[in-house]
Amino acid sequence: MAQPTYRTHHGMHDILPGEVEKWQALETMIRTAARTFHFSEIRTPILEMTELISRGVGQDTDIVSKEIFSFDRGDDHYVLRPECTAPVARAYTEHHMDQWGGTRKLFYIGPMFRAERPQKGRQRQFHQFGVEILGSDDPMADLETISFMVHLIETLGIPRTTLRLNSIGDPEDRQRYLSALEAWFEPRKADLSEISRDRLGRNALRILDSKEEEDQPLIAEAPRITEFLGEEAKNHFVRLCSYLDLAGIKYELDPLLVRGLDYYSRTAFELTSPDLGSQDALAGGGRYDRLIEDVGGPSTPAVGFAAGMERLLIACEELGIELGKPARPDLYLVTLGEEARSWAVSALKKLRNAGLSVTTDYSVRSMKAQMKDANRENARFTLIVGSEELKENRFTLRNMQESEEQSLSLEEIAGKIRSTSVPT
């Protein structure tokens, strides 16, 4: 086969027929779960202001400093959104949602963009679905976001996931912790990896996230955030843990879990799966009580999470979980000759208006070739239309599964097909 002249960018993929049905099935599950938990959908633009993302996500994060897709047009600076929490915080502020009354429970599904090094489970264009609860500082809201995440994973049937949980405290707690970390790492700087030495100067918390071998002994000995939590953050965390226990949701406390985005405070969590390989995070999230204020909105506590949809689909594939079979047409109209094709014009309309999924031949092929095409499309029935059938106004309806034929008028066809159950 000749090499195509144009192809998708590195780390960006077409989602083709056969695959797209799995996405649709996943999206339907997400929407059903959102309904069960009473979340409303929000759709924000793919392009956001550069300033929003760098302030919201954090200038020193990998996402903003290394992975952003951006361009300028006139005086405007655009970025392709790398995530959707900062955009939701912007929308909340822009549309004065704090004045809509009550707590806002939102969810989104859509593409995000990060210029990372592509590998299995890590794309440059990927898809997230996420939920955000805005306007509550109660640990019950944290529980609800985690419950939503766990509910979806259970509905999909993905076993063996691990929920890692931490509290990274309030900003004041974190400031004290940061100073303690700096004081601890500074004299041991020479033993750190180059990446971590760089992080020490900018945000020592990030060192805890390091995957570098040489950093691990130092990280294992470093002070833990748990010792620096203030009374309020501690109470909040204890209550969340007791709610999780009551909900029967298992978790592992991980004081090293800091997450790669700057807006978090208090709760931080991640859900991993051993069925994913090195990119093992299915979902992650946490509380971000200062973000909305940071992007110019009213002081609004909030919590949420996002899951990577490609990773959910990879996990399903690895585990043999079947999602969304390709749709099959109810009927394939086999037309023999020009008279039959002209007749098909109005017949197609009538049959589709009767609620059937109908397709036909577009290449003026022989009957044998059309039957083969009907088989390829996995049509439930075929209807053969030739000059004889037109004269008699009776058509041969063939049940492809049962290899049964019946002669019917056009008016009888929809009823007959509908009365025949779809094989599973």
Applying CB under 6 A, the residues found at the interface with ligand HAM are: 83, 85, 114, 116, 121-123, 126, 128, 130, 132, 260-261, 281-286, 288, 304-308, 310-311
**Considering beta carbons, is residue 281 or 410 the nearer one to ligand HAM?**
281
CA–CA gap between residue 74 and residue 269 (Å, rounded): 40
Question: How are beta strands 381-385 and 125-134 bridged, if at all?
Answer: unpaired
CA–CA gap between residue 424 and residue 416 (Å, rounded): 18
**Considering beta carbons, is residue 135 or 308 the nearer one to ligand HAM?**
308
CB of 324 to ligand HAM, least distance (A): 20
DSSP string, 229-298: --HHHHHHHHHHHHHHHHHT---EE-TT---S-TT--SEEEEEE-TTSTT--EEEEEEE-TTHHHHTTS-
CB of 264 to ligand HAM, least distance (A): 7
**Considering beta carbons, is residue 85 or 335 the nearer one to ligand HAM?**
85
**Considering beta carbons, is residue 59 or 342 the nearer one to ligand HAM?**
59
3-state secondary structure 5-45: CCCCCCCCCCCCCCCHHHHHHHHHHHHHHHHHCCCEECCCC
**Considering beta carbons, is residue 249 or 390 the nearer one to ligand HAM?**
249
CB of 370 to ligand HAM, least distance (A): 42
Beta strands in 354-413 (DSSP E): 358-360, 381-385, 395-399, 404-408
CB of 284 to ligand HAM, least distance (A): 3
CA–CA gap between residue 190 and residue 359 (Å, rounded): 69
CA–CA gap between residue 158 and residue 354 (Å, rounded): 39
CB of 304 to ligand HAM, least distance (A): 3
**Considering beta carbons, is residue 90 or 311 the nearer one to ligand HAM?**
311
CB of 330 to ligand HAM, least distance (A): 37
**Considering beta carbons, is residue 90 or 380 the nearer one to ligand HAM?**
90
DSSP H or E stretch at residue 126? strand 125-134
Report which of 146, 165, 166 is spatially closest to residue 154, judged by C-alpha positions. Answer: 146
CA–CA gap between residue 385 and residue 365 (Å, rounded): 13
**Considering beta carbons, is residue 80 or 384 the nearer one to ligand HAM?**
80
Its sign, for the CA torsion 155, 159, 161, 163, is positive
CB of 131 to ligand HAM, least distance (A): 7
Lookup result for tokens 């397709």: 359
**Considering beta carbons, is residue 117 or 391 the nearer one to ligand HAM?**
117
CB of 118 to ligand HAM, least distance (A): 8
Question: How are beta strands 302-308 and 70-73 bridged, if at all?
Answer: unpaired
Report which of 66, 69, 102, 87 is spatially closest to residue 304, judged by C-alpha positions. Answer: 87
CB of 258 to ligand HAM, least distance (A): 11
**Considering beta carbons, is residue 147 or 359 the nearer one to ligand HAM?**
147
Name the residue with the smallest CB distance to ligand HAM: 308
Residue 261: which residues within 8 A CB-CB, separation 6 or more? Answer: 57, 58, 61, 63, 83, 85
CB of 374 to ligand HAM, least distance (A): 39
